[in-house]
């Protein structure tokens, strides 16, 4: 893509006018809530003594909230569960998306249109609705897939059950992204390889997959980001099973602190910690992947 | 595959590939089967919900799970659901479409304006703004829902349409896509020609920029429409009055009540079915407008 430079002649304030809505929205709904959460995380409510409950007032708490949050076993087990879930969802989503994309790209595969569309469809089903559907499939009383014999909410099984809902919703979109990248590859890339007697499998492994690695990378990054913010699936399955507690993953814990215990100060501190951790993880992932891609390309 | 006659691959023990010289139109059985299995996995929950929704309350937990009920259970279920709290379910459906359509439209316009400015103008702070937006793509937006609620409750905007709509209008990924698209779809020469003809910058943006960015904007709109349609946590924390709920929050609240009275389960199942159908229909009809190559083309 040719980079074009534009002269700033006679444009005056117009570009500022164009970016103004986005800047305002960013300030109001990203910077301000973030700043406010930061402020709250250093505060605490103090009850004025007296048995008949005097009022309460807010005091500066320093790092006390952070100390409590980071020392909270509940949060750490939530983080572990989130990681366990991510260990299921991220590889499964990316591997199946890549697999289906490669299969769709094969010359002699049939039923491409219908299968492509069907696998893409769950993307338009909200996580909550998907969890409801799968939830009733898991529920012993209504399960058509042997929920009365298999405990889908068992100690280990629950991670696969919750992860399955997330994978079900995410594979299609990622498949389309990778498939589109595959279709954009010039055919002559493979022609010469075929003439040299390369098998279809070798072409996939040596040419196609390396060429679409950037698309696979982007899918991985988005899947990781989604895994860090997991909330909808476990939260929706919670009323159907005792296996999911109200603080099952970090985001559920934040919600529970803020609205269950009315402790917005802890919720704010946890939000700050989770946001920072998620940003760090996604930056590191992006970096790692970037350097890997450059190595592959070299 | 063009039959590369005369060039025979070295004999290999492969399950899928056979020398194409023999039967160039052979169907690849294994890949096709794998795709069909994948498609089945994706469609099974919907099919099952369809079957479950045909069952009346009592039958849901008693009849064999595979057999649909043929005594018009689904008609009763839809009627029960429509009567539930004075037809609130259909409110939720409308709300969902309202949030997604209006939010998607406004978010696309904001993204288009910002992306166009970043691509087509040099101005102070452009680099910083673009880097901020790139970082914004990596920002876990859902985590912000609770702080956004805390802040909006300070100014009394919670439990309002605005509280659900506004936070979803800033879409860094959409801005990024619009910038990439404007760079490739809006030629500078055309803008220059317009300037020579005396067109103002505003008019150029609307009649040249937006028009040429059209196909890309449809994709940005669809991406944001689905993101808002699928969103749960933000409306869930923002809204308390159930006539403002979108479908996701409404059905979830119905499920929560269902934990207390199992008869509501069949309403939840019917509601789930009804909420999936329109979006599938919408999806199929808008299929042609997806420009996912824009998403992948954004990769360097």
Give dist(CA B205, CA B217) in Å, integer. 14
Count the helices and strands in chain B (H runs, E runs). 16, 0
* DSSP for B84-125, written as a single string: TTTTHHHHHHHHHHHHHHHHHHHHHHHHHHHHHHHHH---TT
Which residues in A3-25 are b (16+ Cβ under 10 Å) and which e? Answer: eeeeeeeebeebbeebbebbbeb
- In tens, the pLDDT along A2-57 reads 444 444 445 678 999 999 999 999 999 999 999 999 999 999 887 766 555 556 77
Give dist(CA B292, CA A215) in Å, integer. 11
- Residue B187 backbone phi and psi in degrees, to 5: -75, 140
Give dist(CA A69, CA A183) in Å, integer. 48
Residues in B closer than 8 angstroms to A183, CB to CB, are 293
Give dist(CA B252, CA B205) in Å, integer. 43
Q: Do A232 and B35 touch (CB under 8 A)?
A: no
Closest CA to B181 of B202, B206, B210, B155: B210
Whether the CB of A254 is below 8 Å from some CB of chain B: the reply is yes
Which residue of B60, B119, B147 to mutate against A (max A Cβ within 10 Å)? B147
Distance of CA A30 to the CA centre of its chain: 18
Nearest CA in chain B to A145: B65
What is the predicted pLDDT for the residue at B250? 94
Whether the CB of A127 is below 8 Å from some CB of chain B: the reply is yes
Residues 6+ positions from B184 with CB-CB distance below 8 Å: A1, B297
Give dist(CA A95, CA B250) in Å, integer. 34
CA distance B66 to chain A (A): 6
Whether the CB of B258 is below 8 Å from some CB of chain A: the reply is yes
Side-chain half-sphere exposure of A255, counting CA atoms within 13 A: 25
Instruction: Please give the model's pTM, rounded to 2 decimal places.
Output: 0.86
Give dist(CA A88, CA B298) in Å, integer. 28
Closest CA to B228 of B87, B106, B91, B88: B106
Distance of CA B210 to the CA centre of its chain: 22
What string of pLDDT tens digits covers the 300 residues of chain B? 333 333 333 343 444 444 444 444 567 889 999 999 999 999 988 888 888 888 776 666 665 555 666 666 788 888 888 888 888 999 999 999 999 999 999 999 999 999 999 999 999 999 999 999 988 888 888 888 989 998 999 889 999 999 999 999 999 999 999 998 899 889 999 999 999 998 889 999 999 999 999 888 998 998 899 999 999 999 999 999 989 999 999 999 988 887 656 667 788 888 988 988 887 887 778 777 776 666 665 544
Residue A176 pLDDT > 60, yes or no?
yes
Distance of CA A112 to the CA centre of its chain: 28
DSSP at A59: E
What is the predicted pLDDT for the residue at B154? 87
| Whether B62 contacts B265, CB under 8 Å | no
Longest dimension (CA), chain B: 77
- The three-state (H, E, C) secondary structure of A175-198, written as one string: HHHHHHHHHCCCCHHHHHHHHCCC
Cβ of A196: how many Cβ atoms within 10 Å? 10
Whether the CB of A18 is below 8 Å from some CB of chain B: the reply is yes
Averaged pLDDT of chain A:
86
Give dist(CA A287, CA B280) in Å, integer. 37
What is the predicted pLDDT for the residue at A139? 83
Residue at token pair 């039958």: B59
CA dihedral B177, B181, B183, B187 (to 10 degrees): -160
Which residues in A153-192 are b (16+ Cβ under 10 Å) and which e? Answer: beeeebbbbbbbbbbbbbbbbbbbbbbbbbeeeeeeebee
CA distance A54 to chain B (A): 23
Closest partner residue to B147 (CB to CB) among A16, A33, A221 is A33
What is the predicted pLDDT for the residue at B61? 63
Distance of CA A42 to the CA centre of its chain: 28
Whether the CB of A227 is below 8 Å from some CB of chain B: the reply is no
| Whether B120 contacts B186, CB under 8 Å | yes
Residue B251, token pair as written in the block: 């059905």
- In tens, the pLDDT along A62-115 reads 888 999 989 999 999 999 999 999 999 999 999 999 999 999 998 888 888 889
């Amino acid at each position: 893509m040719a980079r074009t430079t534009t002269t700033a002649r006679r444009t005056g304030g117009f570009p500022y006018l164009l970016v103004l809505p986005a800047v305002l929205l960013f300030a109001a709904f990203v910077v301000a809530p973030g700043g406010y959460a930061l402020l709250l995380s250093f505060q605490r409510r103090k009850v004025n003594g007296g048995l008949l409950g005097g009022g309460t007032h807010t005091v500066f708490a320093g790092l006390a909230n952070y100390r409590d949050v980071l020392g909270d076993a509940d949060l750490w087990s939530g983080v572990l569960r989130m990681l366990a879930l991510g260990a299921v969802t991220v590889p499964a989503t990316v591997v199946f998306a890549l697999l289906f994309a490669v299969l769709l790209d094969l010359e002699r595969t049939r039923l491409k249109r219908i299968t492509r569309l069907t696998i893409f469809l769950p993307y338009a089903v909200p996580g909550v609705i998907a969890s409801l559907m799968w939830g009733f499939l898991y529920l012993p009383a209504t399960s058509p897939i042997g929920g009365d014999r298999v405990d889908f909410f068992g100690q280990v099984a629950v991670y696969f059950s919750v992860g399955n809902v997330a994978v079900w919703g995410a594979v299609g979109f990622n498949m389309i992204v990778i498939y589109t990248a595959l279709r954009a590859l010039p055919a002559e890339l493979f022609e010469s390889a075929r003439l040299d007697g390369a098998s279809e499998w070798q072409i996939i492994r040596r040419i196609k997959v390396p060429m679409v690695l950037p698309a696979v990378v982007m899918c991985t990054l988005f899947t990781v980001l989604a895994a860090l913010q997991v909330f909808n699936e476990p939260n929706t399955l919670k009323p159907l099973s005792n296996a999911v507690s109200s603080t099952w993953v970090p985001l559920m814990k934040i919600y529970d602190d803020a609205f269950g215990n009315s402790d917005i100060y802890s919720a704010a501190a946890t939000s700050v910690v989770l946001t920072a951790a998620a940003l760090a993880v996604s930056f590191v992932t992006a970096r790692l992947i970037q350097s890997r891609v450059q190595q592959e390309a070299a | 595959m063009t039959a590369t006659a005369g060039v025979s691959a070295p004999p290999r023990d492969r399950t899928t590939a056979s020398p194409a010289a023999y039967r160039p139109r052979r169907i690849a059985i294994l890949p096709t089967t794998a795709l069909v299995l994948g498609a089945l996995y994706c469609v099974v929950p919907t099919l099952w919900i369809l079957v479950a929704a045909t069952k009346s309350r009592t039958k849901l937990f008693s009849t064999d799970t595979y057999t649909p009920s043929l005594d018009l259970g689904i008609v009763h279920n839809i009627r029960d659901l429509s009567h539930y709290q004075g037809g609130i379910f259909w409110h939720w459906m409308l709300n969902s479409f309202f949030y997604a359509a209006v939010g998607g439209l406004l978010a696309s316009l904001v993204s288009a304006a910002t992306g166009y400015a970043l691509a087509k103008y040099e101005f102070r702070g452009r680099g910083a703004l673009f880097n901020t937006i790139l970082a914004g793509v990596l920002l876990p937006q859902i985590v912000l829902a609770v702080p956004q609620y805390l802040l909006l409750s300070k100014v009394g905007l919670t439990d309002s349409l605005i509280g659900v709509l506004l936070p979803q209008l800033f879409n860094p990924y959409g801005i990024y896509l619009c910038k990439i698209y404007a760079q490739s779809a809006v030629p500078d020469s055309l803008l220059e020609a317009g300037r020579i003809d005396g067109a103002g910058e505003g008019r150029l943006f609307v009649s040249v920029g937006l028009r040429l960015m059209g196909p890309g904007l449809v994709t940005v709109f669809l991406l944001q429409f689905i993101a808002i349609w699928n969103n749960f946590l933000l409306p869930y924390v923002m809204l308390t009055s159930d006539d403002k709920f979108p479908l996701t929050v409404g059905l979830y609240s119905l499920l929560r009540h269902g934990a207390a009275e199992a008869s509501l389960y069949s309403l939840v199942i019917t509601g789930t079915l009804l909420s999936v159908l329109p979006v599938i229909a919408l999806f199929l009809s808008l299929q042609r407008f997806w420009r996912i190559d824009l998403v992948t083309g954004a990769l360097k």
